[in-house]
Amino acid sequence: MNNNDFDSLPEALQDLYIKMQDDLYDGLKDDVVEATVEALDQWGQEPADILQLGLVAGMDIVGEDFRDGILFVPEVLLAAKAMKGAMEILRPLLTEVKDVDRQGTVVIGTVKGDIHDIGKNLVGMMLEGAGFEVVNLGINVDADQFLAALREHNADILGMSALLTTTMPYMRTVIQRLRDEGLRERTIVLVGGAPLTSAFAEDIGADRYCEDAAVAVEAAKALMEIKRRKA
Amino acid sequence: MADRLFELLERKGLVLGDGAMGTMLQLAGLTDGGAPELWNVARPDVVRAIYQGYADAGSDIITTNSFGGTRYRLKLHHLQERVFELNQAAAALAREVAGADRLVAGSMGPTGELMEPLGPLTLDDARTAFAEQAAGLAAGGVDFFLVETMSSLDEVQAALEGARAASDLPVVVTMTFDTNYRTMMGVTPAQAVQTLHDWGVTVVGANCGNGPAEIERIMTEMAQARPEGVVLMAQSNAGLPRWRDGDISYDGTPEVMADYTRRMRALGVQVIGACCGSTPDHLAAMRTALDGPPLAHYEPAFDVSALQGKPVSDSTARRAARRAQRAET
Ligand code: B1M
């Protein structure tokens, strides 16, 4: 759904979405959850549309204001918690849809030595919203854990996140292990996190650097398409 | 309380801190994401050589290799049961190098955990963890504790109370204002200097961050808000990290850091050192700048007009109205 579609929604529903964004911004988890239920039950909205028009649109504003120095980490964390609350309702519904157009399986985690998980979780939720099955390994994940999970879930995509200049080099180690153990060919490797660049991603042998969650979803879809055609 | 830091300040007026530990260890081969603190016992030769490098460069203070020495940080490396040992070793090595002339600062960095209500860490648990670290550092012979790179005042409070519970050595606090000139938790330099003064901390400042230009603005704000009697401290990164030729390096040269040193002097900062990316070469240049004449004319290197006003986003007014409505009902 794009902005035109948003404009063509009934005004009361538009208001509901804007209220959802505002409440997310203010970190009001209960209100965001309530609005999510209302959009589902009373308006019959698709889970993916609620995610996009309500939650992600709200998080975009939070992200912008964080970048501009209007919001700081405490507010961002509260907003992320509110989003997580709503996702608990949407997740099972998103999975229901998935069997029809299943996109693929993603194993995602923050690399060893690094405990930043806000951005990575956001990416995970957006991928779920786009129809991927997401296995979130959490923080401080080492190569063994990444490889074990890729095998266990027969995953298509590995997503790694690093927010520290001291932990980003570890991504190279993980990719090398994929090569050593013959998993690199069949695994799409996406990397992200604020200090990364596409030059870095290329240098370590990743398939794509994702500057934000939207890019991550696009890249995951596009590379899966290529992978499917090859198969 | 034997406050050797104050004696030194009275005697010298201006004190040179030291430089990076983490990036120096990386240069020395710590590249597997392992715990820097483990090298206090596994590679004491390397840690001692880094301390010695700063001593030879003219540092008045040697800072211990214990930044991630709380149990929460060591837990990432399954070393949480060795807090006392690793901190004591960090301090004992530094004491050896520093001798009687130089001071040893016991570095205490953030736990990396979020404190209640944002995260799971309680004030009690944090206090206990810092006390445990401080006990090891004190046993190894530090002269004072340096609580550094902090972003949350709650965590500073825990560190302060923990350190004070473990020992009566003085505590110095520096925070990191790397998110639009505030800490990532939103603390302003003025708020930091005021609050820490209220909590009985006399040496207060900023460290790490996004390079000398950023810290210059932060120290200006601190200097403007500084209560009587507070001594300011600054330890800037040597510029910014850049990914170059398959490696990360910082772009601040020794000349840049010498210029930063003179600027800090001009702002009335009395304890001046460096952080990530700096080396003994940087500190030697800073020593020269500290011993030489002050700047004849100080011209701020940042946009002074930026000190006023806070940006407001488009959706702010709408939310304000909604909040007011909510308050009514
Ligand atoms: C498919 O795979 C993909 C695809 C896309 C991916 C992806 C994976 N991962 C990310 N993306 C992309 O999509 C996401 C959504 O659009 C984006 O994710 P981001 O994560 O970039 O964006 C998030 C939505 C919002 N951004 C964030 O959540 C990060 C914000 C900042 C302020 C930040 C936070 C919140 C925290 N921190 Co930390 N922290 C900072 C950050 C400074 C900043 N201004 O960015 C940064 C990253 N921290 C830093 C530091 C130094 C530290 N932090 C630390 C701790 C923390 C907190 C615990 C307090 C907290 C984390 C809470 C949590 N649960 O995650 C410590 C490290 C602990 C550790 N070992 O990891 C500590 C070392 C502090 C200390 N002195 O101890 C700095 C790193 C400096 C550097 N260059 O290395 C830092 C840049 C702050 C600064 N200097 O300005 C994209 O990057």
Instruction: State pLDDT tens for residues A88-125.
Output: 999 888 877 655 567 899 999 999 988 898 899 989 98
Q: For residues B328 and B322, give the distance between their C-alpha atoms in angstroms, rounded to a whole number.
A: 10
Q: For residues B153 and B196, give the distance between their C-alpha atoms in angstroms, rounded to a whole number.
A: 9
Is the minimum CB–CB distance between A68 and chain B shorter than 8 Å?
yes
Interface with B, mutate which of A64, A115, A144, A176 (most B CBs under 10 A): A115
Is the minimum CB–CB distance between A165 and chain B shorter than 8 Å?
yes
Q: Do A166 and B22 touch (CB under 8 A)?
A: yes
Q: How far is the CA of B271 from the centre of ligand 1 (A)?
A: 29
Helices (H) and strands (E) in chain A, counts: 11, 5
Three-state DSSP class for residue B76: coil
Residue B238: phi and psi, rounded to 5, are: -85, 75
Instruction: To the nearest 10°, report the CA torsion of A213, A215, A220, A222.
Output: 160
| pLDDT of the residue at A101 | 63
**Atom 80, ligand 1: residue with shortest CA distance:** A164
Give the Cβ contact number of residue B273 at 10 Å.
Answer: 31
| pLDDT of the residue at B302 | 86
Interface with B, mutate which of A112, A166, A168 (most B CBs under 10 A): A166
Taking the CA of residue B241 as reference, the ligand 1 atom at the shortest distance is 82
Interface with A, mutate which of B30, B78, B79, B179 (most A CBs under 10 A): B179
Q: A105 CA to chain B: closest CA distance, Å?
A: 28
Give the Cβ contact number of residue B300 at 10 Å.
Answer: 14
- Cβ-based neighbours of B242, under 8 Å, separated by 6 or more: B248, B249, B250, B251
**The tokens 């100080």 sit on which residue?**
B298
pLDDT in tens, chain B (329 residues): 458 999 999 999 999 999 999 989 988 988 777 899 999 999 999 999 999 999 999 999 999 999 999 999 999 899 999 999 999 999 999 999 999 999 999 999 999 999 998 889 999 999 999 999 999 999 999 999 999 999 999 999 999 999 999 999 999 999 999 999 999 999 999 999 999 999 999 999 999 999 999 999 999 999 999 999 999 999 999 998 887 777 778 999 999 999 999 999 999 999 999 999 999 999 999 999 999 999 999 999 888 877 765 666 677 888 888 888 888 87
What type of residue sits at position A92?
P
Question: What is the CA angle B126-B132-B137, rounded to 5?
Answer: 125
| pLDDT of the residue at A96 | 72
**Atom 63, ligand 1: residue with shortest CA distance:** A116
Is residue A1 predicted with pLDDT exceeding 70?
Answer: no
Q: Which residues of A touch B181 (CB under 8 A)?
A: 69
Q: A142 CA to chain B: closest CA distance, Å?
A: 10
For B126, the enclosing helix (H) or strand (E) is helix B123-140
> What would the pLDDT profile of A148-185 be if each residue is shown by its tens digit?
999 999 999 999 999 988 889 899 999 999 999 999 99
* Cβ-based burial of A166 (10 A; exposed 0-12, middle 13-18, buried ≥19): buried
- pTM for the whole thing? 0.89
Give the Cβ contact number of residue A4 at 10 Å.
Answer: 7
**Atom 28, ligand 1: residue with shortest CA distance:** A118
Q: How far is the CA of A67 from the centre of ligand 1 (A)?
A: 12
Q: For residues B92 and B99, give the distance between their C-alpha atoms in angstroms, rounded to a whole number.
A: 11
| pLDDT of the residue at A8 | 92
Question: Minimal CA–CA distance to A188: which of A95, A105, A99, A110?
Answer: A105
- Where residue A230 falls among pLDDT bands split at 50, 70, 90? confident
Q: How far is the CA of A209 from the centre of ligand 1 (A)?
A: 16
Q: How many residues does chain A have?
A: 231
Q: For residues B144 and A50, give the distance between their C-alpha atoms in angstroms, rounded to a whole number.
A: 54
Is the minimum CB–CB distance between A170 and chain B shorter than 8 Å?
yes
Q: Do A165 and B186 touch (CB under 8 A)?
A: no
Q: How far is the CA of B302 from the centre of ligand 1 (A)?
A: 26
Taking the CA of residue A164 as reference, the ligand 1 atom at the shortest distance is 83
Pick the residue from chain A with its C-alpha nearest to B75: A113
| pLDDT of the residue at A165 | 83
Q: Among A22, A69, A197, whose Cβ lies nearest the Cβ of B319? A: A22
Ligand 1 pocket: which residues have CB below 6 Å? A 63, 73, 108, 113-120, 122-123, 159-161, 163-166, 190-195, 210, 212-213, 216; B 109-110, 112, 114, 149, 178-179, 184, 241
Q: Which residues of A touch B315 (CB under 8 A)?
A: 21-22, 25, 61
0.95 surpassed by complex ipTM? no
Taking the CA of residue A72 as reference, the ligand 1 atom at the shortest distance is 32
| pLDDT of the residue at B28 | 92
Q: For residues A31 and A36, give the distance between their C-alpha atoms in angstroms, rounded to a whole number.
A: 9
Q: B290 CA to chain A: closest CA distance, Å?
A: 31
Q: Which residues of A touch B322 (CB under 8 A)?
A: 19, 22
Among A132, A161, A163, residue to substitute to test ligand 1 (most atoms within 8 Å of Cβ): A163
* Cβ-based burial of A81 (10 A; exposed 0-12, middle 13-18, buried ≥19): middle
Among A70, A114, A116, residue to substitute to test ligand 1 (most atoms within 8 Å of Cβ): A116
| pLDDT of the residue at B1 | 42
